[in-house]
Structures are given as structure tokens and as C-alpha cells.
Structure 1
Amino acid sequence: MFYQGVLTKMETEFTSPIQYYLVFENDFINLNQLLNKTITLEFVKYQCLNCGQDKPIYRQGFDKQCFYEVPQAADWVMRPELSKAHLGIEERDLEFEKKTQLQPHIVYLANSSNVKVGVTRKSQVPTRWIDQGAHEAIEIVEVPNRYLAGITEVALKDHVSDKTNWRTMLKNEIKDENLVEWREQLRSYIPAESKEYFIQNNSETNLEFPVLKYPEKPRSLNIVKEQSYTGKLVGVKGQYLIFEDETVFNIRANEGHVVRISLP
């Protein structure tokens, strides 16, 4: 049996453990059901998530031309503090930017390899934490637009990391932290514009991932270079597939690649 389709970020269901799905145009795979099974991944071609053409993927699932044109890849996506839709200023597509930026956003703390600060749309909680492989997370503020979330994150990352070490996350070399205490320690650094949105009475969210065995020395699979790979799936965490031989495959980093997946 085999499936073929263009890779996009895995869909998830917040259960214990989290359920993971690879969704293709006409089918989907529940990856939890493939644990302890040997699967083969084969690279077929590129397929830009915007234009659909077979052109090398540059970043975020887009070919180079599309990456510099589509609103989904504008600078404010990675740097929320650059958002301008609340001022009515267009960067690439004002209608898209208003729809995306002018909605409730959360500034949060998540613990995946260490405690880090991040930003996401409220509608993406807890999906964003799952995608980062965080085993615990907590909201700090809920603001009405992306700009306020961005300037809050910038202020807080002077006092807490804003990066995840993917190897540490995959090796599960983590320790539990009291995120309520972290939130209280960071409260005084929240900028004046966002102070009224501080969330006082909430608790940590804990997440459990479907992993049978964590790798000691994870090796990242380059499916374009290797063309084909076969291995036993032993876990899924963040947006990574984890195999028994310690190979790991980042689905998110391979968006826009068409693959064939052969199952036993």
C-alpha cells in the first residue's frame, strides 16, 4: 500500500497522546497507527504550495519567486512586531494581512528544549505548542492584534529565550519548569501597551507525544539528496518523524515536496 502527495504541516488532535495526521489532497494517514512499523519515503518532485509548479522549494513550501510575493511569507509572519495592518498599511496584501493580524493573539511560554517565549494566534492554541514539541506551556497575555503580541515578545526575549534547540527537544533532554512562576517573573517586563492584557489566573497545559523511543544522536534526513529512505517509525514529536535508527524527518521543513510513502 502506498500514499502520494505534497507534504504540508502535519495536522494534530490534542489528545493524550497527541494524534498526528499527514493530509494529502485525496487521503490522509494517521501516523500514530504506524508506530513500530517500517515505512519507505521516496522523493517524487517539488510542488510549490502557491503556484503548484515543479520548481525547487526555497522556504516555507514556496519556490523563490512565490516566497518573495505571497503574503503568507512576508516579514511580519516571522517578526510579528513588524505588523502594520492595525494602521491600515499594506505590505503585500492588506485584506489578507487584516484578516490574519487583526485577531486575538497569545504571547506564551513553552518548554520544549528550554523555556522560550513565543507568539501565536489564539485560534492556534495548543496547535502551536504541539508543533514546537513543547511538553508544557502557558499563556502570558492575550492581545487584540499581532503587533501588540510582537512588541511584547520583543520585550520579553531580552529576559528569556525565543529559540528551541531541535536536537534537545527530540532527545527529550528536558526538565519540568514552573511556568506560572516564570510568567510572574516576566510580568514587569511586559510593555505598557500590553499590560492590561496580562492573564493572571491560568495554569500550565501539559502535552504528551506518541514516542516509543527517543534518539540519542538524531540525524536529519535530506529526502531530496537521498531520494529514498526506509526505517521503522518509533515516534512523532513536534513536526518530526522519529525512526529507530535515530534518523529524524522534519515534515514542516519539507513542505512543498511531493513524496511517496509505502506501508507494509
Structure 2
Amino acid sequence: MEATGIAVKMPVRIESGQVAYEMRLEDPRSGVGTSPAAVRTLPISTFLGKPLRLEHRGEYACVRCGTALKKVFGEGFCYPCFRNAPEAAECIVKPELCEAHLGRGRDVQWEEDHHNQPHAVYFARSSALKVGVTRLTQVPVRWIDQGASWAVVIARVPYRQLAGRIEVAMKALYTDRTAWQRMLKDETPADPVDLAVELQRVRELLADCEPELTEYLVQPGQAEPLTISYPVIAPPEKVKSVNLAKTPLVESILQGIRGQYLIFEGGAVLNVRRHSGFRLRISVLGG
């Protein structure tokens, strides 16, 4: 089995209690993301234990407009899209700066459709307990993309900027980062999270600095944690990130997938999302 195309973030779903992944490869000559005929998907989580070959021949294309490139910016954009597209705006990583609720943004309609929508503030456990923000319709996809083993919505707000304000306040007590090496090695702390205690800590914190936002917090009895299982044969003892721009060929046995990482025998790991816009050839050897 073999497929060639421009890599984008892997689509995910939960199937029979475990995350199932697809490798999505797009053909910009037909318009990236616009035509079903321009997309090839591989059920990559079914390839565990099989030897894979991933090859990059120095070709790129913008994941938004499809322009052929010599290099990509951000997560797979040409420079004009990186500079102007709403998907690359500062409020993607700093939601507290979002102005969608004011009718402003790089693309007002895109902001209305994506950011002036109900959002969740959540706890997730991938390495340490962390805080995060996502659109409600992206639960649990966002948690899976971060490799969380456990996650729960702790606040629901009507638009993105409010979620960002809660997250900023919570950074006084919690990280907003995932230690990806620890996550892939499955070094999540074993002790359970006392959700009632943590929610009370958050409530007291907001009461001091953002009292009007406490109304959006869920009650302990309304918080429904989700435990997430990933297709991993065995966590690696050590991990080494692979950059296909520098090492254009990976040929190894697929040992697992977690977050947006492919985990290979020996601990080599490839962040698929960070390779958005790369033209790849993927082969299942002997298959």
C-alpha cells in the first residue's frame, strides 16, 4: 500500500474505546481541502507493528491555498496565508486576544463561525495537569491531539475571548503546556485528580481576579471526565524527534500513535501536525 500527497493534521475518532487515526494526504493541484477526489486517507492506526516508509523529496504546498512552495511557515502555510489567514492569527495561540465577539478579525465570517461560538476551558492530563481552551464542538478531538490520557470540561463560555481570560487566570496555578517527551513515554502521574478540590481552587482564584467569570464554571457533579486510550504497542523509553526537512527518509516499524505523533521502533517520533504542507510518500512495506 502506498500514497503520496500533502500532509495535514491526522483526523481522529474514538472507536471501540480507543483512538483511531487516519493519515490524510491532499493534492493541491485539485484545491487543498476542497474536493473529495483530491484526498487520500490511510487507516494508519491499523498499521501498528508493520514497517512503514515515509519519504519527503523537498516539495511543499500551502495547506490553505495550495500554492507550491520551497518552504512552509507555521503549520503548513505560505507566507501570505501565514500573515493574513485567520487560521494563523495570534488569537489561535492566545485566545484572550480574540475579538470575534466584537465583529473583528482577519476574516470576520471565519471568526464568527469558529471563534464567536461556545468554547470550553478544560483540564487535561498528558504529562502534568494542564489547562486548555477549545471550541465545544472540538471536544474530544483537541484532547486527543494533545495526547491527553484524561480530560474534563471545567467551564463553558459563549465565545473564545472569555475562555482565554479564564485560561490566563488559571496559569497562576496550572501549566498550559504539554511536555511531549513525557507524554509519549507515558510518564503521566499515577495519582488521581481530585476534581472537586481543583474546581474549588479555580473558583477561588477567579473570585479574586475575574469574579464575573465564575458563573461559567461547572459544578463538580456536572464535570464528566473522559479517559482516552491510544494505539501504542509499548511506550518508548527514550524519544528522538524526526524532522523530515533534515532527515527526509524514515523507514521503521510503527510502534504507536499518540497525540499527533507517530512512534517508531527505537524511539524515533514524527509530529505529523508539524509536517503539515510537506509532500510525503507513505508506504506500508510488504503490504
Q: TM-score range by the shorter chain?
A: over 0.9
Alignment correspondent of 2:282: 261
Match of residue 158 from structure 2: 144
> C-alpha separation between the residues in 1 aligned to 2:96 and 2:136?
17
Distance 1:27 1:49 in 2: 15
Q: Is 2:19 the partner of 1:3? A: no
Give the distance between the partners of 2:43 and 2:198, measured in 1 at CA. 36
| Corresponding residue of 2:234 | 213
CA distance, structure 1, for counterparts of residue 135 and residue 162 of structure 2: 12
Matched with 1:22 is 23
Which of the numbers 127, 147, 153 marks the counterpart of 1:113?
127
Inter-CA distance 172–32: structure 2 relative to 1 (3 Å threshold): same
The alignment status of 1:246 with 2:267, answered yes or no, reads yes
State the secondary structure of the residue aligned to 1:262.
Answer: strand
Q: Is the 8 A contact 1:239 1:251 kept in 2?
A: yes
Cα distance between partner residues in 2 of 1:17 and 1:95: 35
Deviation at residue 263 of structure 1 after TM alignment: 1.0
Task: Return the alpha-carbon distance in structure 1 between the equivalents of residues 257 and 139 of structure 2.
Answer: 19
Larger CA deviation: 30-39 vs 52-61: 52-61
The answer to whether the 8 A contact 1:213-1:244 is kept is no
Q: Secondary structure at the match of 1:113?
A: coil
How much has 1:184 moved relative to structure 2?
2.6
Is the CA contact (8 Å cut-off) linking 1:109 and 1:179 kept in structure 2?
Answer: no
Greater CA drift, 207-216 or 17-26: 17-26
Alignment-derived partner of residue 214 in structure 2: 195
Residue type of the alignment partner of 1:100: H
**Aligned with 1:195: secondary structure?**
helix
Shift of 1:100: 1.3
User: How far has the Cα of 1:174 moved from its partner?
Assistant: 1.0
Distance 1:252 1:194 in 2: 33
Residue matched to 2:193: 178
TM-score (normalizing by structure 1): 0.96
Q: Give how far 1:179 is off.
A: 5.0
Q: Select 1:85's aligned residue among 100, 103, 108.
A: 100
Report the Cα offset of residue 64 of structure 1.
2.3
Percent identical: 39
Which residue matches 1:47? 61
In structure 2, what is the Cα distance between the partners aligned to 1:188 and 1:5?
A: 50
In structure 2, the CA distance between the partners of 1:141 and 1:160, relative to structure 1 (3 Å rule), is same
The one of 145, 150, 153 equivalent to 1:131 is 145
How far did 1:7 drift?
A: 0.8
Give how far 1:183 is off: 2.4
Residues 145-204 of structure 1, C-alpha deviations (whole Å, 9 max, x = no match) = 001101000011111111111101011111243151322322222322321111112232
Matching residue of 2:176: 162
Q: Is the 8 A contact 1:107 1:142 kept in 2?
A: yes
Instruction: State the alpha-carbon separation in 2 of the partners of residues 14 and 27 from structure 1.
Output: 20
Deviation, structure 1 residue 211: 0.4
In 1, Cα distance between equivalents of 2:41 and 2:5: 9
Distance in 2 (CA, whole Å) between partners of 1:26 and 1:237 is 23
- Is the Cα contact below 8 Å between 1:148 and 1:193 reproduced in 2? no
How far 1:91 sits from its partner (Å)? 2.8
Give the whole-Å Cα distance in 1 for the aligned partners of 2:148 and 2:87.
24
Residues of 2 paired with 1:94 and 1:144: CA distance? 17
> What does residue 136 of structure 2 align with?
122
Deviating more after overlay: 193-202 vs 133-142: 193-202
Unaligned runs of 5+ in 1: none
- Give per-residue Cα distances to partners, 1:74-116, cap 9 Å, x unaligned: 111110000112122x231111112211111000010001000
Aligned residues: 263
> After the TM superposition, which parts of structure 1 deviate over 3 Å for at least 4 consecutive aligned residues?
none
Point out the more displaced range, 24-33 or 214-223.
Answer: 24-33
Matched residue SS, 2:114 = helix
